[in-house]
Structure 1
Amino acid sequence: MVTMNLGDIATAIGIPEIAVRLILTLFAAQPLAIVYRRLVVDRRASPYVHHAYFTLTGLALSYFCYGIAVVNSLVTICSTYVLIRLAAALNRPTLAPAAVFLFSMGYLLVGYYFSSTDSYDINWTTPQCVLTLKLISIAYDWSDGRAHVDEHVDDDLQKRPIGDLPSLAEMYGYGYHFGSFQTGPPFPFKRYRMFTSRRGKFGVDIPSPGRLPERQLLKGILSLGIHSIFMIYVNSQTLQSEPFISLPMPLGYLLCGLFGFVFATKYASIWLLMDAANVWSGMSYDTDKEKHGSVTWDSMTNILPYNLLFGTNMMTLIPSINIHTNQFVLHYIYKRLRFLNSKTLSQLGVMMFLSIWHGFHDGYFVAFFLCELPFVSAERHMMETFSPYFQSSPVLRYTAAFIGFTEKWIVWGYGLLVFQLLHTERVMPMWRNLYYLPHIICPIIWVMGSPMKRAVRKLWPLRSGGGGGNKGDETNGMVKKRQ
């Protein structure tokens, strides 16, 4: 009898064994969610049963992937609990966020230092970076709850502060929650607490989500299949190969767009699978007050595939992917930098945090500071100037949409090259062959943006009521929140 282990299977399909293990844990989350819903949620079990289920299943999945390295997450969760308790004992709640931030980020960076290589790594730091965001958010939410003591009795989940100290059981359950531990999303602790204790809007019997989790699961499998096929032809090796580097410039940019699409399908598959598990478990359940209490299931959604695929500019693409991490940096980084009195400095602070959070490779810093920030800024300048004119006829609207759609994928893929390859020297031959056009065009737009806008307004005055900028981006068509 011929037997094959995971290593043999990984070798046969051409991917690392650790990647196979990670994918299997994402699929394992589906039956775990169904069992959790039937045996724990629907039976209104004690909160401690919820915490124990999440802790034990999360530990098992983590051990399956990373072995004894699971001790790192055990240590950081317990240490965060001790730091918050110490701040409470000293009656200095504002110490908790600073202490937990420094400890969690320091632990993660030490882990990067000792475990990272010159390629994209999947190891214990992969879930640890998500856990870091979760632990930082708990410390801030508790500190904010102490500063505004009335917030903790508010059932509105849009308000994150918590009034009571988290228990160690809660923190382990939240940290190892199988629908978010491995790859995110880093959802608010208050949602976890209220769901497991069945308080507020979770006090009712959670309704059935119908066929929604099956649809999300099928979308995730489809995205994974598309990614697996295209990765055979568009991967780190082919991007650095001589045939690609020597491509004519137009074909090089088209391949950048294809790479951006392939990159997106990887994360779409991961987060759609997680979304299916979270809907199945009931954790995604919410009610939309603006729609008279109608049930929604998008509270744990971390990617909007329709927006991502068909949005017509980078300003619709970026908010459509890794949604909860974007919300984290908005709430816990950007807004905490108000004392700088400068949106620009706050944005730079966000870019610095995201770069360091991803690791020490210089490609991360280049991707955030020299690609995402300038590219989005230049695009915004252009849209503020020309977007009102695109609304004057359907032909112009569709033309603008096509141009924006093409630009989005090409420029995003161009910037992602350095993010994927990790080091600037690896991407320079490709960018050189592409004549650095995005990096050259952006400063020109910044310098000429205001004079160009005044000249355009003077030559083609806007008619009364003829539009007013790009708020909401009229050219991208209305996209749905839940696809």
Structure 2
Amino acid sequence: MPLFDTFFTLLSSTLQAPPDHLRILFILLASYPAALLYKSLPPNPNLKHLFSITFAALVYLGLFNLVRGFYELLASALVVYLISYTVSGKWAPILVFAFTMGHLSISHIYRQLYRISYDRFDISGPQMILVTKLTSFAFNVYDGQRSIKTLSEYQAKKRIQRFPSILEYLGYVFFFGGFLIGPAFEFADYRDFTTLALFSNPPASSRSSDSPILSSDETQSQMTDGQSDEKGYQKMKQEGKEAKIVIPNGFVPGMKKLLFACFWVVCLISFGRKYPMEWTLGEEYANMSFLARFFYINLASFCARFQYYIVWLLAEGACILVGLGFNGYDDKGKPLWDRVSNIDIVAYETANNLKSFAESWNMNTNKWLKNYVYLRLVPPGKKPSFFSTFATFATSAFWHGFYPGYYLMFMSSALLQSLHRNVRRKIRPIFLHTRYASYKPLYDFVGWFIMQSMISHLAVSFVLLSLRNTLYVWRLNYLICHVAILFLYVFFMMGLDKQLRILLKVEEKKEKVLILENLEQEALEGKKRRKIVGEEKDLLVSEMGLIEK
């Protein structure tokens, strides 16, 4: 029987919440005192790895009684470790991707076949986080074998040149602040964090002349596995390098995340449960007017996001408190704490375009999809194609499971994203020029309303999951989102935007003239540079005059 089972059962009946949801909330809150204990450990990376492994084992074996699940996660991690160690070249990450996604698929199919409610916690959730960690690890090891000239800036930063010990690797896999529901992060970030290399570049105001800026590669190359941070930096000092470690205090920003999460808990308890998406399946919803049905879905989708806000903010706050969330300093020397951010609530709720939505929601998963699926499918020197977009959304759906709703959501989103590029490229520029600048606030508002409504209506499939229920609700709303997508596709395919492009030619020339005028005024390269800019400006003015004629 799981620990505190009676306590969580009684609490569940009082709060009318599933016991496993309360267990997850308890673990996330317990990670805050655990973070303080973690910070008090001696500066030895091995102790930190052991702490995380022990904490994760206690949660799986004690609170959830998931003995078999814990061993499955451990076995999966060890298989990936073995593949990455023994297989060289591009086949290693490909094998890891296939193995981990296959293992995850078995868990998803088992859950779906036995109709296990999402009120009950099982191993598939942590396994989703683990897949992102293990696949990125395999690609990073592969990148460490390649020439740095063939890597992108991101790949060069995250590559692994020194293969980790099994203890360091498992410490990364079961890091106490993210093993349950995330956030997922790169192995290079974890290594820099545990070896204190993450804090070796203090703000300029606190550095002395004999304390150079050290990159993470430099600090990593100076340290060996199992070596304490103190010994590692003593070795650097003997070689003529003196690293100054400044660990900023993350208590205040961590507590802010905790308080913000508590705010959403209050919202969920007070009114979030009053607008469930499942209510759309009843007769009362069907008898409402179209506008009432339309806006109810927007409201229900908004309330459905509360639970994500709560768990992501709590997990991020613990990571900030322990120091993993530290992400360098801004121009004013103020610490940044967004390394493992998974949600930017303000940016998401105010987003007026699909790009802003993607960049502010489930951010770590989107980084994984971008860097290890989307960009990996693009040949060197080529631009991303629709296939890259479609494959990325398909992978995201596959990663979530096999309910039809996931595929309806992500395939529709792929079409929407492809369409959004045309809209952004051919319509948005009109409102960035002088003639139409006064309409930019109206354009932004309309864009916000349309995108929020589209995402909310597509999210119906993500919440209801079944094909029958999703299509039923969409039909009640006249498939309005898909009709709008189809209409705009036809609009661009038939070339009905030609008149817009004619306007854009004039406006683009005018904007380039303004840009070149600014360059001409601010150029510091001397008379020769100003002369070139002036000639280009005159040429554009001449071309613009011909177009207007």
Same fold (TM over 0.5): yes
Choose which of 185, 188, 191 in structure 2 pairs with 1:190.
Answer: 188
Residues 183 and 316, structure 2, Cα contact 8 Å, conserved in 1: no
Correspondence for 1:445: 488
Choose which of 462, 478, 485 in structure 2 pairs with 1:435.
Answer: 478
How big is the shift at 1:168? 1.2
Aligned positions, number: 455
CA distance in 2, matches of 1:211, 1:201: 18
Q: Deviations over 1:17-66 (max 9, x none)?
A: 111111211111111112212x12xx4x2110110111111222233235
Q: Name stretches of at least 5 consecutive residues in structure 2 with no aligned partner.
A: 201-242, 513-549
CA distance in 2, matches of 1:107, 1:131: 11
SS in 2 for 1:291: coil
CA distance in 2, matches of 1:346, 1:374: 12
Q: Deviations over 1:283-328 (max 9, x none)?
A: 111224x737653111111111110122223321221011111111
CA distance in 1, matches of 2:423, 2:146: 42
Correspondence for 2:142: 143
CA distance in 2, matches of 1:156, 1:376: 24
CA distance in 1, matches of 2:198, 2:247: 12
The AA in structure 2 aligned to 1:124 is I
Correspondence for 2:387: 345
CA distance in 1, matches of 2:188, 2:346: 29
Q: Deviations over 1:186-205 (max 9, x none)?
A: 11100101211223644613
Correspondence for 2:85: 85
Q: Deviations over 1:82-112 (max 9, x none)?
A: 222222xxxx243321222222111111111
Choose which of 176, 179, 188 in structure 2 pairs with 1:178.
Answer: 176
The farther-off stretch of 187-196 and 53-62 is 53-62
Q: Are residues 296 and 216 of structure 1, via their aligned partners in 2, closer, same or farther at CA, if it must alter by over 3 Å?
A: same
Residues 329 and 350, structure 1, Cα contact 8 Å, conserved in 2: yes
CA distance in 2, matches of 1:83, 1:156: 23
How big is the shift at 1:226? 1.6
Kindly name which structure, 1 or 2, has the bigger radius of gyration based on alpha carbons.
Answer: 2
Q: Are residues 314 and 338 of structure 1, via their aligned partners in 2, closer, same or farther at CA, if it must alter by over 3 Å?
A: closer
CA distance in 2, matches of 1:119, 1:285: 37
CA distance in 1, matches of 2:325, 2:198: 15
Q: Are residues 457 and 53 of structure 1, via their aligned partners in 2, closer, same or farther at CA, if it must alter by over 3 Å?
A: same
Q: Name which structure has the greater RCO, CA cutoff 8 Å, separation 6+.
A: 1
CA distance in 1, matches of 2:131, 2:458: 26
Q: Does 1:24 align with 2:26?
A: yes
CA distance in 1, matches of 2:261, 2:286: 32
The farther-off stretch of 185-194 and 227-236 is 227-236
Correspondence for 2:518: none
Correspondence for 1:206: 247
Correspondence for 1:404: 447
Q: Are residues 169 and 404 of structure 1, via their aligned partners in 2, closer, same or farther at CA, if it must alter by over 3 Å?
A: same
Q: Does 1:358 align with 2:356?
A: no
SS in 2 for 1:363: helix
Q: Does 1:418 align with 2:461?
A: yes
CA distance in 2, matches of 1:294, 1:232: 39
Please tell me the root mean square deviation across aligned C-alpha atoms, in Å.
2.8
The AA in structure 2 aligned to 1:101 is F
The AA in structure 1 aligned to 2:496 is M
CA distance in 2, matches of 1:460, 1:144: 43
Q: Are residues 247 and 374 of structure 1, via their aligned partners in 2, closer, same or farther at CA, if it must alter by over 3 Å?
A: farther
How big is the shift at 1:424? 1.4
Q: Does 1:164 align with 2:207?
A: no
How big is the shift at 1:394? 7.0
Residues 260 and 409, structure 1, Cα contact 8 Å, conserved in 2: no
How big is the shift at 1:206? 0.7
Q: Are residues 166 and 199 of structure 1, via their aligned partners in 2, closer, same or farther at CA, if it must alter by over 3 Å?
A: same
